[in-house]
Amino acid sequence: MKHKAPLKLSLEGQDPATTVNQKVYQSLRHALMCGEIPPGRALTIRELASTLEVSPMPVREALRQLAAESALEIQGNRRVLVPKMTAMKFQELLEARVALESHAAERAMPYIDSACLAELERLDALVDTAYDRGDHAQVSICNQQFHRTLYSSNPHQVTVALIESLWLQLGPFMRLATAQLAGHYQIDRHNEALDAIRRRDAFALRLAISADIRDGIGFVTSSGLFQDVIEPRTNSAPL
Amino acid sequence: MKHKAPLKLSLEGQDPATTVNQKVYQSLRHALMCGEIPPGRALTIRELASTLEVSPMPVREALRQLAAESALEIQGNRRVLVPKMTAMKFQELLEARVALESHAAERAMPYIDSACLAELERLDALVDTAYDRGDHAQVSICNQQFHRTLYSSNPHQVTVALIESLWLQLGPFMRLATAQLAGHYQIDRHNEALDAIRRRDAFALRLAISADIRDGIGFVTSSGLFQDVIEPRTNSAPL
DNA sequence: TGGGAATTAATGTGATCACATTGTAAGCTC
DNA sequence: GAGCTTACAATGTGATCACATTAATTCCCA
């Protein structure tokens, strides 16, 4: 069994005004974010190039770019693969998200004007309707847009790139989590966040964002329902 | 005056066992970290290629990689340049460092065994001797190694890549700061950190790391002695 | 002489090719 | 038949080339 599952990728729907490199990058990024490429899957330049019907060149650059964002992993063999996930790593990614995003939210607070607030309310509404529709992919996208808009309101902000790297690393699992969320009724943390913003209460905003992140995918570790995607327990013996 | 200052780069001293791409990457990274390329300086592939006496190919990939780490900026024109620094952005980078690194330190604490502690003590001693010698470049390098070792003791670590991105973004200014530090006598925050580790006091470690970061370069903003490298005040009008 | 259009130079992008390295499979020996 | 060696295929890397786009310069005319 050496034949890996064929990759389901295409450049359709990509902005034709951009470079091929960017189209490949976006395509791969989207596939990773949606978990369409299983962890541990090896990616070769020529395979991707022929799948996407482009020359190897833009693929090389896209892979290197994604590797620099920790979305892909290049091992010593110079082979590129989708990083595997472990329960511990998942926990670390989650806590890193909390630390970084609550920080970014707090620092964004002073810059949130009424226009930005309105935009956040609009995005929150989009999340809700997508949620009611059961469109988990859309929920995920709008939710990210909500967070991105919030943090980006700080014009001197430097953390969004880092945060996006974290999103990318646990992308597949966020999708998985939102899908599972359908059953649960969750407190609307976005509303808590919006309330905090209206009251200009930075600390409350911190709490709301932290809770939102943990509510969103935090329970996944305990639910144990994604054991198939996760690496079997490693034999690490710390300390 | 269209001729930019010639770049002082070379691949000498690079590990000959690595790929050309990595050598170029390391060379550029080092130059950026040491502030040898002024902010705003445009970098062209062909210029770097001829300076380093390699083909444009590895340079392209190195530039894209550094851009993915926010160490370089690619503008719409597809031109690559060293990002400019502003006082506000500097502040944000500093606070992001504090948030991320104190988080990483706290999370590393449970994994620090005696071997790791010994290594940290060794690195701290190296910092001290380099400091006494007045070798600011070496201080910077050893100091980073100290932090990296601390955070990396957590085997499930996911933040080091993000932290390195921050270091890279304010690299030139860290160097500038350590150079200025020569005059000041600073409390040895590393010793405070080591003490906290020995007592296994996670909160004290947090405080020590935060203080170490702020001590190291925090005063730069108030000292106003790097106004020449900083962008003139922007006309942003938040809120 | 100043401003704008056309020309020219420079640059990024993408493709193709050659080579060294790595992974795999066949073949041989014991 | 097991283990090692050798041959083969596949892959990443780097170089060179062609082309489209962008920046810079020159030239012309008001």
Angle between helices B45-52 and B20-33 (to 10 degrees): 100
Largest Cα–Cα distance in chain B? 59
Q: Tell me what the mean pLDDT of segment B204-215 comes to.
A: 92
One-letter amino acid for residue A140 of the chain = S
Rounded CA gap, A71 and B196, in Å? 34
**pLDDT tens sequence across A153-203:** 999 999 999 999 999 998 877 766 666 655 555 678 899 999 999 999 999
H helices present in chain B, as ranges:
20-33, 45-52, 56-68, 87-108, 114-133, 136-152, 160-169, 171-181, 189-198, 202-213, 220-223
| Average pLDDT of the residues in A81-101 | 92
- CA–CA separation, A158 and B95 (whole Å): 10
Identity at A65, one-letter amino acid code: Q
The mean pLDDT of A18-35, rounded to a whole number, is: 93
pLDDT 10s digits, A196-216: 999 999 999 999 999 988 886
Both tokens assigned to A176: 């998985």
Round and report the angstrom distance from CA (B55) to C1' (C5): 36
- What CA–CA distance (Å, rounded) separates B125 from A199? 49
- Which amino acid type is present at position A160? V
Is strand C less than 7 A from the beta carbon of A77?
yes
Position B177 pLDDT exceeds 50: yes
A79 Cβ within 7 A of any nucleic strand C atom = yes
Q: Mean pLDDT of all residues in chain B?
A: 85
Q: Which residues pair with B230 in a beta bridge?
A: B85
Query: Are B92 and A156 in contact (CB < 8 Å)?
Result: yes
Nucleotide lying nearest to A42, CA to C1' measure: D11
Task: For B73, list phi and psi in degrees, rounded to 5.
Answer: -130, 125
- Residues belonging to chain B: 239
- Taking any CB pair shorter than 8 Å as contact, residues of chain B touching chain A are 60-61, 64-70, 86, 88-89, 91-93, 95-96, 99-100, 103, 107, 110-113, 154-159, 161-162, 165-166, 169, 236, 238-239
Instruction: Quote the DSSP letter at residue B14.
Output: S
Taking 60 as the threshold, does the pLDDT of residue A80 lie above it?
Answer: yes
Which residue, among A63, A107, A156, A235, would best test binding to B if mutated, counting the most B CBs under 10 Å from its CB? A156
pLDDT score for B109: 96
Output the six-digit token pair for A37.
């490429």
Q: In which residue are the tokens 């309310």 written? A: A121
> According to the model, what pLDDT value does residue A235 have?
37
* CB of B81 nearer than 7 A to strand D: no
For the segment A217-233, the average pLDDT, to the nearest whole number, is 54
> Is-contact A218 A110, C-beta < 8 A?
no
Neighbours of B121 (CB within 10 A): 16
With residue A80 as reference, give the H or E element that holds it.
Answer: strand A80-81
Residue B215 pLDDT grade (very low, low, confident, very high; cuts 50, 70, 90):
confident
Query: Which of B100, B156, B236 is facing A86, going by the closest CB pair?
Result: B156
Rounded to two decimals, what is the model's pTM? 0.89
CA distance A176 to chain B (A): 21
Q: If you ran DSSP here, which 8-state letter would residue A215 be given?
A: I
Q: Between these two residues, B150 and A130, which has the higher pLDDT value?
A: B150
Q: Side by side, which strands form the sheet with A80-81?
A: A42-43, A80-81, A73-74
Please report which helix (H) or strand (E) contains residue A42, including its range.
strand A42-43
